[in-house]
Chain A
Amino acid sequence: MSAVAPDNILERPPSARSSSCTDSPHLHPLRAGPTLSPEAFAPIRRRMVLNCCKWDPQVGDVSTLAPFPLLIGRADWQQLCSTAEGLARELIAAEAELLGRPDLHRKVAVPRPLRNALAEARDRGATPAAVRTLRFDFHWTPDGWRISEVNSDVPGGFAEASELTRLFADSFGPSMNLAVPGDPAAAWADAVAVAAGGAPVALLSAPGFMEDFQVVSYMATRLVERGVAAHLAAPSQLAWAAGHASLRAAWYDGPLGAVVRFFQAEWMAQLPRSCEWRPLVVGGRTPVTNPGTSVLTESKRFPLAWEHLAAALPTWRRLLPETRDPRDAPWRRDDGWLLKTAFCNTGDTVAARDLVLPQRWRAAARAAFLWPGQWVAQRRFETVPLATPSGDVHPCVGVYTIDGRACGAYTRVATRAVIDYRAIDVALLVEGDRVQEGPA
């Protein structure tokens, strides 16, 4: 793709480092880049939907692809990468320790069938991981970066992180000295291809969930580019013999080199007995990504186990807001707390009195009262809005680590302080030699 001519830039970005929150002690490390004209943006959108499996570019009245990028200074990006790698190291250590502590599995809301499988994994050894992928969601606050969660089980957003970012970088050309922060899909596919050893790979997802189908479809194309046969399938179509996985499907019936589980771990506990899901957690010899043990740290109740672990988790303790069992937090009278389910994804169950409709708040409060072990209360943090051509937004920078190395970001913006399914995907580009204007 050729670089965009100046005429195709519809709107200049707000002045560098401008922010609606001028009293922030730290200047915002992000700023909006130039908005592409409709003529320049249309080919990017088209390429995303036709070639990169971005099949939900419109949600209701919201177009989910932003026509402008966000920019971050190189030093700020390196700081995020370093922090994410630290979080990943601590998480992996804590997860290994948690695996050996079945007494804590109920505390972090692991469903009973999974608890049994994890207890067995402690003794027999967990099924090996093909690659371990994590995504940490960072938000800029008056006190610096904070994280809202880690996507430890089935992180998505690869097409947006790899392709949308590259298309924007190509559009602006080298003259603007912008670089992509990484290609997480390539790093992931390289690792899975190696783990599979040239054998076919099955990518599991739940039927009916187009949001998930598009992720596995995109990742499958990246595997095919590497000469790996890739097949979309459902968990019920796996068969195991002596720990080795095979796919039993009409279009492919044979052994697998690796299994990609884009099917939430806690859902596996609901599968019928006829479905052989346990080797995804324990006893399998075919590598799986992410491994079933990731459910231990995917749980939003993971912080409730910290006090029982030897792992210190200093970076986590510094960046994650205080998290408590709903029975131990004053969320009913203090609006400084929010509620979410233990296995909340894409912000769908996040609730606070002033954040959601009264009906929804009442439903969440009732559920947290009746089933407190399935919920958490978390102290809210203030995010610093960012001025963009679309108005003030709240950015969330999801930094991937793949086998412990930071390698790119899935970035979204929302007009509200919660990132959910209505959030807009935006490319994050790294500015080459921008002078750092303040403390990071």
Chain B
Amino acid sequence: MTAEQIFELWAPQGARWSQWAKPVLFAHLGLPRESPVSSAGRVELAAPVAPPSPPLAGIEPADGTTAVVVDLPGAAGVAAGLVLAESGYRPVPLYNAVPSPSPGGPIPGGSVAVDMAQVLEALRAGAERVGVARLPDDAPPAFLLDARRRTADSRVLQPGAFDNRSVSLPTDFPSANLLLASGIRRVIVVQLDEGQPQADLSHTLRRWQDAGMEVLVLATGAALPGESGGTSGGTAASPRPITVNKPRWYRHLWHGMLARLGLRTNPLGGFGGFLPVPSAG
């Protein structure tokens, strides 16, 4: 299966929410370490391994009024997306981390701040399963985020590491107006615990809440299947309504910059200070 075919299964052209899918990881499906490329230039599909499924039974099958935001670490988010696809939700990958510092080169083990190898593998292995779900074009979205995106692994984030951390911004999602116009009135956030969503994601959720959408949280528990110490299965909790607190710098003119500035809290991060806007002019 080629990278294009895999991308088409995850983000089919005609599907309503496909345009929001982030292409970064799909553009790296041919990297040597994760996906040996045959002499015919085709990405070799890994053996179809079913990723462990987070406990999501508390989410009702899609009826067109509910969207989901999955904010789980690593490949667990992809696994959740596959489960949700079988319940009628369109998984929309929003992974935004560049996996390798060298175009076409291998991912150096242990020296990338947020190692995306398992997520890449899960996207590749899960592509056919998304296709089999035969979702309608207007299936409601389940946006998939990597909960590790801003924090990385402190053991990895050394001076020589490739710092590929990222933040989620409101412009990564459809607006509340568009969601409401599409009949979507509530959103379920799937995350490890029952607390407030991550600070960067809160900027999006608070906007949606301010526009009249209901926000609920479904906690999968601190130990996910497939994560260290986790077990398969788990209890099926129900989503719980929450009020998303107004995050710092909410609707601030330079929120995007400030959010990324937050990445420099790690003393070894690449930021140098007040970064007003992207360098690209």
- Given the interface pairs A207-B269, A251-B111, A275-B272, the reply to whether A151 lies near B165 with Cβ below 8 Å is no
Q: Which residues of B sit under 8 angstroms from A210, Cβ to Cβ?
A: 24, 96, 98, 166
Q: How far is the CB of A148 from chain B (nearest CB, A)?
A: 11
- A393-408 interface with B by 8 A CB criterion: none
B270 contact from A51, A55, A59, A206, Cβ within 8 A: A206
Residue-wise, chain A 119-132 has the 8 Å CB interface mask toward B (1 for contact) of 00000000000000
Contact (Cβ within 8 A) A270 B270: no
Segment with Cβ contacts to A, from B82-90, B168-176, B215-223, B239-247 = B168-176
Segment with Cβ contacts to B, from A78-86, A325-333, A344-352 = A344-352
- Given the interface pairs A61-B178, A231-B102, A232-B101, the reply to whether A267 lies near B108 with Cβ below 8 Å is no
- B5-30 interface with A by 8 A CB criterion: 7-8, 13, 19-20, 22-24, 26-27
B104 contact from A206, A224, A251, A421, Cβ within 8 A: A224
Residue-wise, chain A 232-263 has the 8 Å CB interface mask toward B (1 for contact) of 11111100000000001111110000000011
A51 contact from B27, B111, B272, B278, Cβ within 8 A: B27
Contact (Cβ within 8 A) A154 B24: no
CA distance A373 to B49 in the complex (A): 60
B162 contact from A53, A155, A249, A345, Cβ within 8 A: A249
Q: Which residues of A sit under 8 angstroms from B276, Cβ to Cβ?
A: 341, 343, 345, 348-349
Q: Which residues of B sit under 8 angstroms from A63, Cβ to Cβ?
A: 19
B161 contact from A232, A250, A253, Cβ within 8 A: A250
In the complex, whether A314 has a CB less than 8 A from a CB of chain B is: no
Residue-wise, chain B 265-277 has the 8 Å CB interface mask toward A (1 for contact) of 0001111111111
- Given the interface pairs A50-B26, A51-B27, the reply to whether A267 lies near B275 with Cβ below 8 Å is yes
- B233-281 interface with A by 8 A CB criterion: 253-254, 260, 263, 268-281
Contact (Cβ within 8 A) B260 A209: yes
CA distance A290 to B47 in the complex (A): 46
In the complex, whether B48 has a CB less than 8 A from a CB of chain A is: no
Q: Which residues of A sit under 8 angstroms from B8, Cβ to Cβ?
A: 46
Q: Which residues of A sit under 8 angstroms from B263, Cβ to Cβ?
A: 207-208
Contact (Cβ within 8 A) A209 B279: yes
Interface size class of A (residues with CB under 8 A): 35 or more
Residue-wise, chain A 34-64 has the 8 Å CB interface mask toward B (1 for contact) of 0000100010001001110111011111010
Q: Which residues of B sit under 8 angstroms from A341, Cβ to Cβ?
A: 276
- Given the interface pairs A207-B271, A263-B279, the reply to whether A58 lies near B101 with Cβ below 8 Å is no
Contact (Cβ within 8 A) B108 A50: no
Segment with Cβ contacts to B, from A2-10, A96-104, A213-221 = A213-221
- Given the interface pairs A208-B167, A230-B102, the reply to whether A60 lies near B175 with Cβ below 8 Å is yes
In the complex, whether A276 has a CB less than 8 A from a CB of chain B is: no
CA distance A38 to B14 in the complex (A): 9
In the complex, whether B4 has a CB less than 8 A from a CB of chain A is: yes
Please name the residue on chain B nearest to A346 by beta carbon: B277
Q: How far is the CB of B277 from chain A (nearest CB, A)?
A: 4
Q: Which residues of A sit under 8 angstroms from B281, Cβ to Cβ?
A: 135, 149, 151, 153-156, 345-346
In the complex, whether A205 has a CB less than 8 A from a CB of chain B is: yes
In the complex, whether A360 has a CB less than 8 A from a CB of chain B is: yes
Q: Which residues on B are within 8 Å of A, measured CB to CB?
A: 3-4, 7-8, 13, 19-20, 22-24, 26-27, 96, 98, 101-105, 108, 110-111, 113, 158-167, 170-171, 173-175, 177-178, 253-254, 260, 263, 268-281
Q: Which residues on A are within 8 Å of B, measured CB to CB?
A: 38, 42, 46, 49-51, 53-55, 57-61, 63, 135, 149, 151, 153-157, 205-215, 217, 220-221, 224, 229-237, 248-253, 262-264, 267-272, 275, 341, 343-346, 348-349, 360, 363, 421
- A-B contacts besides A235-B272, A250-B158, 15 pairs, CB < 8 Å: A49-B26, A58-B20, A61-B178, A153-B279, A205-B279, A206-B260, A207-B269, A208-B167, A208-B260, A210-B24, A212-B279, A232-B102, A250-B161, A251-B111, A343-B276
